[in-house]
Amino acid sequence: LAGIPGAFEGEDFFPQLGPSGRWLSFRAVPLRDRHGALVGAMETLLDISATRGTEGSHAAAAPAAGQRAPDTPAVPAPPELPIPARMRAAPGQWQRTDLRRCIASALDAADADIRHKADVVRDLVETPAIECRAPEINQVIRNLLVNAAQAIGAQRGTITLRNGCDGDQVWFEVEDTGSGIDKEQLPRILEPHFTTRPNGEGRGRGLSICAGIVRQHQGRITVRTVIGHGSAFRVTLPITQADAHAGNVPHEP
C-alpha cells in the first residue's frame, strides 16, 4: 500500500467479537472517480487470531464522558467510542487545510444520498487550518453524512453540520434527526461490519473506516444520541500533528 496515497492498514484486537475476542487485520484503499474525487473505499478484513492469539485484556481505548444536547432529555452518557489502534498510514501528502473546504467537498460527494432524505443546515464558523490528509477527512465527513441520511426514516428530516475550535483542537459534528442508537449498541458501532440497520441495508464499514482515519490523525470520535430524536457524531482533531511527518506542512492551494 506504500504507493497509494490515502491507503492505510493495521491490526487490532476486538474483545467484543466472540467469547475470547478476535484479532483482525485491516486494509483500506480509497476509490476515486475519473476527476480524482473520493467516492468510496475498498476494504479487506482478515481474521488473524490463529497467529496472534487472543488478548481478552487488551484495552481498546480509555472511556470518556459523552454529552447531550441542551434541548433533549438526559440519558446515560455513552463512553467515547473505542477507536482501533496501531493503524499505519501509507505515505500521503499532509497539508494545512480549512475544515470548511473538506465539509463542502464531502457535501457535494454525498448529495445523491442526502437530497431526497433531509435538509442540510450549515452552522459553520472560521477555524484555524489543520494539518491533515484532506481526502481522508473528506471521506470521514462523507461517511458520517451518508450514515446520517440512512438513519432518517420515511419522513424528511434534517442534517446539521457544525464546527468549532477548542484550544489546540478543532472539531466538526454531523447531527441527524433519525431514530437514535440504543445504548447497548454504542460500544460496538465502530467495529468492522457492525451495523444498526436491518440485514441487507448496509455492510457496517463506514464508521470503522472513519475510526481508522481519525486515529491516524491523532483525533477522536464521540457521539451523543437520544432514542426518537437522533444522533450527533463529533470528530475532534489537533490543529498541528505532533509526529515528524507533519513538519513544514504546506497550505492547501
Show me where the domains of the chain are located. 64-246
Residue 242: alpha-carbon gap to chain centroid: 20
Q: Would you say 18 and 3 are in contact if contact means Cβ atoms under 8 Å apart? A: no
pLDDT at 24 over 90: no
- Strands of the sheet containing 38-47, edge to edge, are 38-47, 22-32, 8-14, 88-89
Q: Which residue has the cell 437520544?
A: 226
Mean pLDDT of the chain: 75
CATH numeric code, 64-246: 3.30.565.10
Greater confidence (32 vs 225) lies with 225
- Inform me whether the pLDDT recorded for 144 exceeds 60: yes
Which cell is 231 given?
444522533
Identify the residue with better confidence: 160 or 23. 160
- CA separation for the pair 251, 253 (Å, rounded): 6
Predicted pLDDT at 53: 54
Cell numbers of 189, please? 458501532
pLDDT at 32: 75
With beta carbons less than 8 A apart as the criterion, state whether 103 and 163 touch.
Answer: yes
> What does the pLDDT read at residue 197?
54
Does residue 123 have a pLDDT over 70? yes
Q: What predicted TM-score, i.e. pTM, was given to this entire model?
A: 0.62
- Given this model, what pLDDT does residue 10 score? 72
pLDDT in tens, 37-84: 766 677 777 888 887 654 433 333 333 333 334 443 333 333 333 434
Buried b (16+ CB within 10 A) or exposed e, 61-72: beeeebebeeee
More confident residue, 247 or 1: 1
pLDDT digits (tens, 9 = 90+) for 174-231: 999 998 988 877 777 766 655 655 544 443 457 888 888 898 899 999 999 999 999 9
Q: Report which of residues 137 and 28 the model is more confident about.
A: 137
